[in-house]
Amino acid sequence: MLIGATAILITLAAGAVLALPRLIGNQRWRAIATPLASIIGSGFLVTVPILRSLSGAWAILPMAGLLVLAYLIGGAIRHNIRHVEPLLEEPGRPLGIASLERLSHFVLAFAYFVSITYYLILFASFALKPFAVTDPLVVKIFVTVCLVPIGVVGFMRGFKAVERL
């Protein structure tokens, strides 16, 4: 009980700090927070129920470990942004790096779409379960109804608008 109450208090305090307008408007913070929120949100959605069943009330400890791991992976990404991306701006850059960079954009976009779709299916399954809706076709229709506006917003308004969603 004490661990749960502590986790709730920490979450509320962190939420209050993260809601500060000065932080929300900071470009550097948004560059860090947007991908991290996606990774953590997806990770929590999948791993919390698993860790809860494996670790009980102590699930917060392995979750903290996963956060540290995510931060380290982010460090590798930040390193690439700092040291590899400047090579892409240089004239006469190696064709292999430029081609790999272009390919990575398509792969990332596809992976992001698959990820969003997967988590919407997971969300829809949970959201519709209390209404005794378990038919996979109905779940997929629900997800499609969610994806269409996201796609339209992205197409019409760009990534920033999707980010706000």
Taking residues 29-46, what's their average pLDDT? 70
Mean pLDDT of the chain: 82
Q: In the structure encoding, which two tokens stand for residue 25, read together?
A: 């408007």
Whole-angstrom Cα Rg for the chain: 19
Residue 4 lies in a domain: yes
Residue at a domain's end among 29, 49, 83: 83
Residue at a domain's end among 83, 115, 134: 83
Is the pLDDT assigned to residue 85 strictly greater than 90? Answer: no
Taking residues 83-106, what's their average pLDDT? 79
Residue at a domain's end among 29, 52, 83: 83
Q: Cβ(165)–Cβ(153) under 8 Å?
A: yes
Length of the chain: 165
Q: What is the pTM of this model?
A: 0.50
Structural domains in the chain (count): 2
**Judgement on whether residues 73 and 149 belong to the same structural domain of the protein:** no
**Judgement on whether residues 116 and 79 belong to the same structural domain of the protein:** no
Rounded Cα distance between 9 and 95, Å, is: 51
**Judgement on whether residues 63 and 123 belong to the same structural domain of the protein:** no
**Judgement on whether residues 141 and 64 belong to the same structural domain of the protein:** no
Is the pLDDT assigned to residue 60 strictly greater than 80? Answer: yes
In three-state secondary structure terms, 27 is: helix
Residue 99 lies in a domain: no
pLDDT of residue 13: 93
Rounded Cα distance between 135 and 141, Å, is: 10
Query: Which of 80 and 148 is assigned the larger pLDDT?
Result: 148
pLDDT of residue 40: 67
Residue 126 lies in a domain: yes
Rounded Cα distance between 141 and 118, Å, is: 13
Q: In the structure encoding, which two tokens stand for residue 103, read together?
A: 């390919």
Rounded Cα distance between 107 and 161, Å, is: 21
Reference 119, options 62, 40, 11; nearest CA is 40
Residue 37 lies in a domain: yes
Residue 144 belongs to what domain range? 106-165
Is the pLDDT assigned to residue 145 strictly greater than 70? Answer: yes
Is the pLDDT assigned to residue 134 strictly greater than 80? Answer: yes
Q: Which contiguous run of DSSP H or E holds residue 154? A: helix 136-157
Is the pLDDT assigned to residue 15 strictly greater than 70? Answer: yes
pLDDT of residue 43: 67
**Judgement on whether residues 129 and 165 belong to the same structural domain of the protein:** yes
Name the amino acid, one letter, at 20: L
pLDDT tier for residue 10 given thresholds of 50, 70 and 90? very high
